[in-house]
Amino acid sequence: MKRIYALAVVAALFIANGALWGSTSGGIAVTLKMKGVVTLTHGGKTGALKFGTVLDSADVVTTGNDGMVTIMFTDDKSLIKLKPGTTVKIAGHRDNDGNIAKRVGIEIGELFAKVEKQKGVLEVATPTSVASVKGTQFFVLYDASGNTIVTTIEGLVALKNNVTGEEYQVKVAQKCEMQADGTITFETIDPADLPGDPDPQQPSAPTKTLNIQIKDQDGKTQTIQIQVQDTQE
């Protein structure tokens, strides 16, 4: 049986040895549950992405045709889950209070985002749009034709059209499609037909605590402790 780790429903994230605010762009996120082929490009080098990898600003994550990965931001436990065939660039800047201004740039593919107790800003960007959120669940898809589709499951998504400069609100049970030329169309979705979490948690699984060591810009080691589910496939 292949062992994997999934994020616990009551995941705990905190700094064990002092504040992690020494680095403005390092240690902004950490990889959690993974399936299939997932790669990381860091510092110009590409290799297999591993569970528990700490991500820095400008890191690029790509999922293969069978790949999925959950990424947690280290300031407020916001989650993004990349579906198969997706490439994103993770960016972030931590302020003096430890909040991260987070930006996920989608080069191709689709992701699911879940934001509950938001601290820093979270934006999901495509070449034609920027989606800004406050406490919500939503999907963003960017396809090979240059079309962006945003579907809001909970909360509210503010969507900026980079082509026209206009801004829109995508409410619960709405799907907004933005074509490459900036044309916008809205569709109301029956709540019963809304897509769900592409990789839901398994609350019945036992949990364990992982200690992840990272270094700040002064070379001091900090420990992130994350409570995860220990599951098997």
**10-residue stretch averages of pLDDT, the chain, 233 residues long:** 39 35 64 93 95 91 96 88 97 84 96 87 94 90 97 95 95 96 96 90 62 60 65 46
Within 8 A by CB and 6+ apart from 77, the residues are: 11, 13, 116, 117
Range 182-185 contact pairs with CB under 8 angstroms and sequence separation of 24 or more = 182/128
Spatial separation of the C-alpha atoms in residues 81 and 103, rounded to whole Å? 14
Dihedral sign, Cα of residue 160, residue 161, residue 165, residue 166? negative
What local confidence, expressed as pLDDT, does residue 16 receive?
34
CATH code for the structural domain at 3-223: 2.60.120.1440
- The pLDDT value recorded for residue 98 is 77
pLDDT of residue 206: 59
* Per-residue confidence (pLDDT) for residue 86, from 0 to 100: 98
- CA dist 217 and 198 (Å) reads 36
User: How far is Cα 105 from Cα 92, in angstroms, rounded to an integer?
Assistant: 11
Which DSSP letter does residue 193 get? G
Residue 223's CB is within 10 A of a number of other CB atoms, namely 14
- DSSP characters over 157-192: EEEEETTT--EEEE-TTEEEEE-TT--EEEEE--GG
Cα(first)–Cα(last) distance of the chain, in Å?
6
Predicted confidence at residue 76, as pLDDT, reads: 80
pLDDT at position 219: 60
